[in-house]
Structure formats: C-alpha cells, structure tokens
Amino acid sequence: MITKQAVESKDTDPAANKVALTSADSEWGKESDDFYGYSSEEERLAKRGLEDWEMVDKIPESQAAIPKWFIAVIIAVLLFAIGLSFPFWGDREGFEREWFNWGFALALVYIAICAGFIYAMLNLYGSKAGGRLDTDKEAKSDDNDGANN
C-alpha cells in the first residue's frame, strides 16, 4: 500500500515541494504507529477511512442484516407483479385465462429458495453458528470454557 508524505523543501515555492511515495504495510488487526502517513488518526479517518479489519471489528453481531424497508419494497413489487398477472388486465375478448397456474407456484418456490439462501449466507459468518476466527478479540467470550480454540 502506498501513502503520500510531503517532503518539505527549503524553498518557499509550493511547486518546489516534492511528494515522496513510501510503502505502508497494512496487517490484519495491527494499528499503524504513523497513522499510515497522515498527521493524526482523525485525518486518516477523514481522508482514508477505516481499514477492512477495523470495519469488521466495528460491525455488531446484533446488526440487522437486511433493512425492513428493502423487504417492504420487494413485497410491494411482487404484489404488483401478481396483480398485473390476473386475468382482468388486458385480455382479448373471448379469451379466458385461469386465475392460478403453475407459474405462480414455481415463482413462490423460487423466491422462497433464494430468500432462504440469502438469509443463511448473511447470518452464517461472524455469528455463533459460523464460529469465530482465532484472531477475533471476542472469541474468548463466545466459548463455553473461555479458551481460545
């Protein structure tokens, strides 16, 4: 990972200041002593943001995985699609369509399988069901005997 550190020149001309690139190795769970080339932790957070491991540590296990408004939008779209498929929308005279067919049943099975898969994947990792990494700070509190396995 490359960070910028300005090398101040003795000249007062801003164009004379050079920017030297230095490498900064980011390790999982290790905080940088030099703030990855920034002058303070606040500046690093404002300009660079959190590292991946910092984001993972700050996500609580009780966080809702899928927002309720998103589920409401999906249900509204499905109800709209079902409503448009009923026989009183734009059928030709003399042509009668059945109210229910196998397309509805297959669509409901498809939606149930996809929703179950998404739910399982969102709740598996980082939870008690999926276990925790050896490097996790909260791993000891989740074990029954208190040992870090």
In total, the chain counts a number of residues equal to 149
Q: What is the structure's pLDDT at 7?
A: 45
Q: What is the structure's pLDDT at 68?
A: 85
Stronger pLDDT, 108 or 28, i.e. the higher one: 108
Q: Which of 66, 37, 65, 54 is nearest to 130 (CA)?
A: 65
Q: What is the structure's pLDDT at 77?
A: 92
Above pLDDT 70, what percent of the chain? 60
Residue 132, burial from CB neighbour count under 10 angstroms (0-12, 13-18, 19+): buried
Average pLDDT over residues 72-93: 82
- The helix/strand/coil state of 6 is strand
- How many angstroms separate the CA atoms of 104 and 119, rounded? 22
- How many angstroms separate the CA atoms of 133 and 144, rounded? 16
pLDDT(8) > 50:
no
Q: Where are the domains of the chain?
A: 2-58, 61-149
Q: What is the structure's pLDDT at 140?
A: 58
